[in-house]
Structures are given as C-alpha cells and as structure tokens.
Amino acid sequence: MSFEGTGYRGRILRVDLSKNKITIQEFDKAFSRLYLGGNGFSIKIILDELNPLIDPFAPENILTFMTGPATGTVIPSTTKFHSASKSPLTGQYFDSMCGGTWARTIKLAGYDGVVIKGKAEEPKLLYISDGYVELKDAHSYWGNKITETQQSLKKDFGEPNLESIVIGPAGENLVRYACLISGLRASGRGGLGAVMGSKKLKAICVNGDGRITLANEDKARDYIRDLVKKLVDAAKALRMVGTPSVVSTVSKLGIWGTRNWREEYFEHWENLSGDALMKSFYTNKNTSCLACPISCGKHSRIVEGKFAGLEARGPEYENIYAFGSICGNSSMEYVIAAVNKCDELGLDTISTGVTIAFAMECFERGLINKEDTGGIELRFGNGEAMLEMIEKIAYRKGFGMILAEGSKRASQIIGKGAEYFAMHVKGLEIPAHSPRGIYSLALGYSTSTRGGSHHDHRPTAEYSIIDRKKIEGKPEWVIEVQHMTAVGDSLTICRFTERALGFALTEDYVKIVNLATGFNINLIELKTIGERIYNMERLFNVKCGLTRKDDILPKRLMIEPIPEGPSKGMHVTPEVLEMMKDKYYKLRGWDKNTGAPTIEKLKALSII
C-alpha cells in the first residue's frame, strides 16, 4: 500500500443514499499533497462534483466527513473530524470541525473519510465496522434526542465503544442551523445537521480495530514530547478554566456582543465569568478529545433552584455569549439549561442564541408582538422565553418556524426593517468576538468563506500580541491567518494549538505535516496549500453567486460605534472596510470588482 508508514489510509468511503450504494474511492499521493486532508479533501470533492446552484436540501448536496493525516497517530490534538457541505444557512461552501474520538475510529476502521450523497426514502443510519459497511433502518431512532439516540445505538449494537455522529430533532426538522453531535462535542455551525436530516440520515456509527503507525514513530515521539509541553504551557487558561476564561478578557476590554450587539459591555458579566462557573457549577470533571493535553472540556452541575440536578457539558465561552450577554441574560443557570437543550435537540448554540436575541430586539421595538410569538414575552433577559423558543425552533412550532430559518431569512420574513437587527455575515450569525473592537476581525468576518465565523480569521492574537485598534497591516495578517486555518482544518488539528504552534503557519505546522505524511514539504509549500484551499472555497462560493458586495458586516456594526464601556467609540466604518478590502483583494489576486479569484491566481495555485 502506497501510504504505508504515513497517517493516510488512501481510501474514502462513498455512500449514495438515493441508490443505496456504497463504494470506495482510492486516492494517491499527488491528491493528498495538493489538498492535505480534512478541509482540503472536502473542498476538492465539492468543487469537482457538486453543482453550486442546487438547493442545499436537494438530494444532490454532498456532506463530507474527513480526517487529517495525523488523526489517529501519536500526534496530539488532531482527532477532530471535518465536515462540509453547501450550507442551508449561507447557501455556500461551509465546513465545521468536531472533537471527540469518531475521527480516530474511522481511521482505525480504514478510511480517511466518508462522503454522503443522495437522499434516503426512509430514515437510515450508516454502520461501519472496519471493512463491513451497511445502511440500516433507523425508524426507531428518528425523532429521538441526542443522548437517547447515542445510548440506544450503543445498546442496540451491543457495542459500548461505538462511536457515532448523530442529529437531533432539529436536524430532522431541517432547522437551518441544526448541528451534528459526536460524543459530547458538536460540529456546530452552518446547518450541517439539517443537510444530514434532509438526507434522512440519523447517524453514522463506527467501530474500528486497525492501527496507524508512522514511519518513524520514535522520531515523532521526541518532537511530540516537546509539543505537548508547549501546548500545556500555552493553553493554561483553557486547561484550567476552559473557554469561559475569555469572558473576563473581553468584558474588561468592553468588546463582548451584548443585547443583540446594541452594546458591548454586559454589566452582569461577572455572573457569567469562568471564575463564577468554576466556583459554583464546575463538577471537577474534564473531558478532552483523545489524548489531548489541553483537555479544555469542563462539566457543570446546577445545585439548587429550578434546574437543580441538571448536569451538562460546558458551557463554553460561545455558549455563554449565545444565551448570556447577547440575550441580556445574567443567569448562568439559564445559560446551562439553554445549552443543554440545544445539545439534546441538535441545535447550533451560537446561531440559536443570536437568532433569539434578534427576535428579542424586534419584540422590544414592536416589529413583532405577543400575537406573533404565540404569547411569549420575548424580551432581553427573559430566560424562560429563551428556553421556550429553543424548543419551538427545534420542532418548528409557532414563531419557532420563522426563527428556524435563521436570522437572515427570519428578518426578511418579518419585514418592516427587521433586517437591520439581524446580526449575520452571509447568513451565518456572528459569534462573540467583536468586529468593532478588533479591527482585523471586521475584515476577517467580511471575507470569511463561512460568513460570521471566528474560524477563518482568528481573534486570538489580538487579545495578546497584536494591536487590535490598528488598521495598518491587517489585510496581510488576515490572509496569513486564513491560510493557517485552512491548513489547520485540513490537518484537522484543534484550533487551540495555535497558542503553541503559531497564529499563522510556522515550521511547527510543517513539522507535524511532514511527520504525518512523510512528504518533506517546506513552509512555502504549506502556505501554498493553505492559499490553494482558501481559493477553492472562494471559487465555489463565487459559483454560488458570491460577490464583493457580500463581503460585508451587519450594517449596525459599521454605522453604530460601540456605545459605552472601555472600547466606546470603536468601529470600522464602511469606507475603512472597503479600503481594507481593496488591499485584501489585491494581495489575494482577486478581482476587486467581483471579489472572484482571477484566472491567473487559480492557475498559479493549480486549481484550474
């Protein structure tokens, strides 16, 4: 086998649900050197095989599940799986990563990834056990929530270690921001769970017994020992407190989306901080992806009150934003309860929370009223209303039908100028990091393949080493980071390793790639891989109809400066954003009018 001694299996499982057909696609070293794995594999397949103009819920849509070359090897923090599709939320290429152990297991079963096409007539699940692959009836799981589904799958198959990716009721009901769940982790964003639901696929279950040995495991181990140490040091706060440690950072800077981004300083932030969580809710239980030294996952328990006894994963920083500051809710209990509900129903917490916050602002401004919401007082800070709406969204009931469409579409359905209050980029609700308070992020969100995502460009460096208020040099920086994330998602390496490996591509990334693949590439080639992948994503989106005009922030965030708090007055005006974009397109070799990659650029990157 040509991939012996590398992390690759050289095989992708192909499943056509319409035809009930399962095949294996083999790939070669040329393919893997151009596209690396994960995201690179996904975009290559989607760009080659998917008509960009189809409806995301059409059977023709493609849903990929990919691993990286290091997944399942001794190299740490690479056991995420990468999933991609044409998103029902953005109508464009969308990819999302998910931690846990599914990725490792599919590698052990002998595959680098799974590609799903078509649509089953009746609910199905995909069962993979090493060489054995079958589409099984899934009627008995359809309609079930996440934990119940996961548990009955393990029980019914009699395999306590069975790994699964499942969808909940939200995915079945095609909520446009339904997520995928694997173990305790989510592939949250972009509605990939709804795509899986549209295909009537409830779960992908995997057992794997194989083993992956790198050619030079000993050499790898030496490097890894150092790497682990570096990771542990660099990600100390993540290891101790988890992502909620960011709450105090952004609150002290006054750059935290509050009450639908009307504000950026939440006066009750201390109730929602990492410290508050540690003190009153932390169970002393951590979960990590397989063999990850960071171990960022924390667990909470509510001790008293209405939700007494509720145990849940997290909440993470983004969850606390989604059901805390952005909805004006200061109760950690309601945050935990809301997150738990989303996890059980299979909803992306960020899009859910931001969409509810949007509706709250519409309600407070009288664009909608209790007659529209079915009697719910949808006001900022109303935790009960939040919980009720989550349930209604997942089951498309009453006003939940409208919010299930996401904030962009919901704002169009509501009309009356509601679009101004929909906080999305390209249809994707924006996360907690502030594009007003971090200038590179204004350009980063705008030009992101995914839309309002903090995983194309990253804000992390600007919390520490980079001046967040400077415009100069930011187009260059955004491009560097976008190439890092494109490579990172192709390696399927956890983004939190950036603290040790670098916010842009470095020799450390090169080392990891070479250890896993044996390619012996250099930093220039790795950066080119990142650029190639980012341009392929862009090309697909242009074919979906994307133009320069879509590279834009929510209007409010461009014309209203931060109104109060430590960062009062900050924002990137439309003029400045357009200036940054001019520079950005020029550096990228993209047409400044259309925002499309030029033919020369595509040729230079071997895309066409």
Give the residues lining the site for a copy of itself (CB under 8 A). 51, 53-54, 57-58, 173-174, 371-372, 374, 396-398, 401-402, 404-405, 412-416, 544-545, 547, 549
d(CA 446, CA 60): 28
How many C-beta atoms lie closer than 10 Å to residue 372's C-beta?
A: 17
Closest approach, Cβ 354 to a copy of itself, in A, equals 19
d(CA 95, CA 83): 5
Closest approach, Cβ 58 to a copy of itself, in A, equals 8
Closest approach, Cβ 416 to a copy of itself, in A, equals 7
Q: Based on CB atoms, which residue is closest to a copy of itself, 88 or 518?
A: 88
Closest approach, Cβ 447 to a copy of itself, in A, equals 19
* Residue 258 tokens, joined: 């509050």
Closest approach, Cβ 241 to a copy of itself, in A, equals 39
SS3 16: strand
Interior CA angle at 297 toward 295 and 299, to 5°? Answer: 130
Q: Based on CB atoms, which residue is closest to a copy of itself, 198 or 288?
A: 198
Q: Based on CB atoms, which residue is closest to a copy of itself, 182 or 541?
A: 541
Closest approach, Cβ 415 to a copy of itself, in A, equals 4
DSSP per-residue letters across 318-378 = HHHHHHTGGGT---HHHHHHHHHHHHHHTB-HHHHHHHHHHHHHHHHTTSS-HHHHTS---
Residues with Cβ within 8 Å of 245's Cβ and at least 6 positions away in sequence, in order, are 237, 238, 274, 317
Q: Based on CB atoms, which residue is closest to a copy of itself, 173 or 182?
A: 173
Question: Containing H/E element for 248?
Answer: helix 245-253
Q: In the beta sheet, which residues pair with residue 80? A: none
Site of tokens 């909803």? 347
Of 356, 381, 40, the C-alpha closest to 348 is 356
d(CA 543, CA 535): 12
DSSP per-residue letters across 42-108 = HHHHHHHH--TTS-TTSTT--EEEE--TTTTSSSTT---EEEEEE-TTTSSEEEEEE-SSHHHHHHH
How far from chain centre, in Å, is Cα 203?
19
Closest approach, Cβ 92 to a copy of itself, in A, equals 11
Q: Based on CB atoms, which residue is closest to a copy of itself, 263 or 405?
A: 405
Helix axes 217-234, 507-517, angle to 10 degrees: 140
SS3 19: coil
Q: Based on CB atoms, which residue is closest to a copy of itself, 24 or 53?
A: 53
CB-based contact 388:213 (threshold 8 Å): no
Q: Based on CB atoms, which residue is closest to a copy of itself, 306 or 370?
A: 370
Q: Based on CB atoms, which residue is closest to a copy of itself, 370 or 568?
A: 370
Amino acid at 405: E
Q: Based on CB atoms, which residue is closest to a copy of itself, 131 or 375?
A: 375
Closest approach, Cβ 514 to a copy of itself, in A, equals 41
Q: Based on CB atoms, which residue is closest to a copy of itself, 196 or 461?
A: 196
Q: Based on CB atoms, which residue is closest to a copy of itself, 58 or 240?
A: 58
Closest approach, Cβ 543 to a copy of itself, in A, equals 8
* Residue 606 tokens, joined: 């071997």
DSSP per-residue letters across 122-145 = S-EEEEEETTEEEEEE-TTTTT--
SS3 505: coil
Closest approach, Cβ 401 to a copy of itself, in A, equals 5
Closest approach, Cβ 60 to a copy of itself, in A, equals 8
Closest approach, Cβ 139 to a copy of itself, in A, equals 15
Helix axes 474-491, 507-517, angle to 10 degrees: 20
Q: Based on CB atoms, which residue is closest to a copy of itself, 229 or 592?
A: 592
